[in-house]
Structure 1
């Protein structure tokens, strides 16, 4: 019956809490409040948490709906399927809050995506589950028979662990003729309970009285506690010591030094001699907390501190005192000492950072919640009022969400490339004097987003490679860097496809996707392609990807891979030429014409006349650079009637390539009828001679003078270029060099460029373009200056010209 009645009371209180829920919500300014009776069974319904917070049941699991608590978080739990808050473990209000008038569990309800936090307060209601308890089950009292009626004898009242009505105690004494009960005036002062003598005692008539004292609380149903009082009548002193006050009240700081005097009690006894000598003491039973905190001088009545007081552990002490005389039958006087412990600011705040949303994307909007911060201080009043702050110049701020709760939110835009993370230090400072403070730090990492495109080290690369390169030869390496991180900074390279004549660019060159190394896929031919311009793209692996392009100019440097080709009539037959013996010295017989498909020095031709038979001195000579065959002296009868002339044509390449032409000359008497037969012994035969062979001597002279000027300038540029050459394979901006173009029978035209010259075979080189007579129009060409010997060779050539 008793158990069913208790359950009925709990159900009524729970129903009442539901009816008052809207009012509680409004009073809490957004804080959700529930009530649950203590000792509720596991699974007891507390409230529809998700519904009251306005959350859909379907989004509880995806949004990581959960409940967190700083204190005793295992007592309550939430069902993430239906959003109902229920009792998870036994809730004992007395264990949780002691005798505090208010007892609540503070919960933090957290959902993510976006992060939100709600504060829920669950009040634990007291039930009458604790009966009154007396300090002793049997109490012995000695009373002198001379005690007059209305004499009071203090009794130790009972204590009830419950609160409110459940702890409101009433006392009842079994009916008797001699004693009555004087109940306490203040519920908190259980020591003010007194036993009152109603009539004069007669020890000879009754020596002992056995009384039963019952304490009943105000709960429903009532619970009781009893103590057996054994009153012994003594025939001794008829005056008991008497204190100045029945209740003494003192205050002491919790940081009082050991041995600090808090009060000196004073009691008087009108008796004389030993019957008037007083001994002070704590009235038994004495609590262990009083014995640890205070010490009493039994003869002077001085009470001093003993050990360290702690406001946070115990804020007040109620100490029953007694003064006993030294009579044969001692008599005692009683009073109560109330000691209030005053708080000092001896506790620093405590800071806790929970529910972190890390790392934070650098494109997170302003106002994004990063973390939850909670603070607490065990002190009271201003000493326990805490404020929080952040260091200056951080892109974060603290927003107060509830009492002693803050949210760390983003206050300005983030940039991971400028700052990859922040050490956020939260400082909590109380209002004491002097104030105390504490800190908690958290590393806020900034997550990268793909907001930077790759950037090449150079916007334009100028490189060179010699023709006839091996397939797969390395040309140069391009490099691009991305300021982002991880996948967003992983760069891959590719060619920007285009057509080069009839061929695709990808058939000529390739670029390695990871390293950026550019390779020639096939041998290149300077005569076919002197300059190749294309673009290389760099793209990161972000989503969406970002990219950029760089231009690359590839100069194909000439190699001496073409032998001189003789120009003349087609066919391999011999033609003779008749020359009158009367021809004088310097007579021009004919001109040997040849061209070289190469460029520069490789196409600069020289003509030599092969020596005749042993012992014979030929009357002919050939111009070194003109190819004109003329007589060196007047002919005479000693000269053979048939002359066989072999002309060697040699270019200036390394190694030099040659071709030969054979002329058959017949010496005749009379008028000349010149005929010339040429037979080419070279590998290839060119086209018909250019009409520019007229006035060849004049052209040679002009070329010689102009060549001296051009070579002087080129030597100066080549020396600077060679001196600034870097290590093999290096790609770097070069110094100004002359890039010249040539045409048949024209002067070389040059202009300065300042490219970043890269060579796959060595350091940057200076280039020389020379005039080449008898040459069909070609593109620009470059020669490399590799050694000081090249410079000396150029000087010798210029002197010979």
Structure 2
């Protein structure tokens, strides 16, 4: 759009037109002309006059130097871009010079050069020509274009060499040229289905430029050829039992035609049996024959198929062939094992060689594939004997033992001699019947069973259980105690055993002080025919409980009474006042007795040996000490919990001792443990016989005598220890047996002997005080006394 200044200048005629001409290949930066010189301007005044250039175009390609007035190229000039439809190309420009304002009109002609080659709108032309087309038939082709103008545009067309085609060049009204393709020789698609041609367009420039396009002529088919198979008869081998889907053969029929005329459909003809069509599948499109069903050589070994190939033309043509399929036999039949007879179950003691089963084997295959070897699994006490061809006996090869193995799974294996060999197996389960060939067995040959005394009658002591590896009634055990008498008492009166499970019970309460142990046998007997049995020794050990309280036998006193002792006040330190002796019928720890003061008036005056029970003075009496003293001694066993007994000793001190006592002498206490036999042997001695006789007489006298209450200090008749200064040699009494043994104590003053004897069939003992000699004095007043003490219920 022109500016107002330019319009005003043009109307006033204050401008002139100058035309220049340049080729379009002018380089960027090159000077076209000097406008100041051409327009007659003063170059020196140009900087003050502000020359500028306006181009009447969409893009600015030229620029004027404001200082020198030179017109130069600023961008590459493309004539085809600026003038797309014009043969001549003129670029108009306005030059403005101020002070005073002047406008110059300039036209710049762009001259064309042959810088563009002809170019087809499509570089690939495709034509479909029927092979039935006649020579002389024409086919239009697309033309080429050249943006150059004049003689630089398209001048002619050329076609590559071809015996079937040529071109004719036509000129349009605007001068454009185009070419037609002309058929000059008949086509045969089967000989050449596609013709590739090159069309070339050439311009008139110097040097000339050209462009090419590819012409693809596709010859359209007519159905003038029938499908043809490679062979009229095909022979193929297939292995029987081939998997379904296995390819047998892929037919390939060819048809020289094209398109639907060459598209082939394969099918079985009516000459192919239905059985064959059931065994094979024919793909109608690909001609592939595959296995459709199981092929069995034993059923049929040759198969014949008749196949047709038909094209899809408007008037279809077809061809046929025959396919012969030969089935190859394979070892596809497994041996068949048949159990003809089977003796099961069998007794475990059957003889070696006993026939258990009759077995036969067969194979449908022939030749080596039908020959079968029969074996059994390698672990069994069994073997196979061949009786005839493919017939066998299964026999016992060695002795059987149900307790080792009660059941055998015999795997019979049949293997043919085919390649590869096939095998089958059958499992025969042989059950063994039990025979009573095992006696009951106890885990141990000797049972030691500890039993605490005072047990409750009927309490379970232990379980004595045997095991019998036999089965059913042969393993059902009955337990009983083998009868044995101990001291006229049967074991069945003391113990009971559960006949079914071997639980052993006590029928009575045991007393350790009477019974220490029992030894007997228990028998286990099975219920087989004949029955088998075994026995085991049982040792019952009675364990002691602390169930007996210590009994004080010295100094002896009647129940609830107080022991009285008289000693002189002039005794020295260490004087033996008395000796406390207690016995405990328990055993070991439970029978060990220790002695302690329970009550003592003066701890500095008396001492008590905790082990032997001796009470001695620790110093001499003084005038301050009372004349009558009371001592309480406790005898305690070592049981848990411990049991104890006490004795109270009333001690009186006197100034003078009766003369008769001064003549006494001390004899140490002696005791020993005798059995009844030893006691009678001692009595058998002559000296002891006299002493025994005198003891009996004195005892009778003492029993008939009454005590004299008028005497102030009579000696304690029931004491087993002297009232005077007597000594007892040993105070430890051991009683760990169920029987009592003799105990001899000696008293120095009157020679008393205390004898402890068992009381038959009772729970107590007798303590007898017997004078040692008949020489009784007035002061002694000694007599025999007897005390019975019960120590157990």
TM-score by length of 1: 0.43
Q: Which has the larger radius of gyration?
A: 2
